[in-house]
Amino acid sequence: MTSLMRLLARLRHDDRGSGAAAVIIFAVVFMGLAAFVIDGGLSISQRERAADIAEQAARYAAEDVDSGALRKGGTVNINDADCTARVRQFAQQSGLSGADLAASGCTAATAQQVQITIQLTYRPVLTGLFYDAPLQVHGTAKAEPLTG
């Protein structure tokens, strides 16, 4: 019986395997931080890209002016009826397609100003292991024609 007691005491005070628990905990924490850094950076990058495309598309839409009025020396008016078509044309040239292209367009267009919204869809890298749905970001910009 004393040998059984010694064996139980030795097993109770044995340190073998205690490092495995620490390694597992640190691995989970490291993966969480990596997901935060990588997917957070990807989100910021996609938001900046959407804003950049929106600014360029707004300028492109505002370039479509009434050239007759401009030649007469009057006020410069945007052909606002073509705004959404021009925005989608520019967005398609920028690489957008499908639902992103359909959701992008003019949110407000007058003869003096256009407001554009661009949608981008992306999939997170590491958090995609737990959350599989794509994420959407939007960029908005305004433009107006200026002469001078």
Domain ranges in the chain?
A: 13-143
Question: What is the model's pLDDT at position 148?
Answer: 67
Handedness of CA 140, 110, 108, 101 (dihedral sign): negative
Tokens 């707004």 label which residue? 58
Q: Is the pLDDT of residue 55 over 80?
A: yes
Residues 98-130 pLDDT 10s: 999 999 999 998 888 999 999 999 988 887 677
pLDDT class for 87, splitting at 50, 70, 90?
Answer: very high
Averaged pLDDT, 75-84: 86
Question: What is the model's pLDDT at position 107?
Answer: 92
In the chain, what percentage of residues exceed pLDDT 70? 93
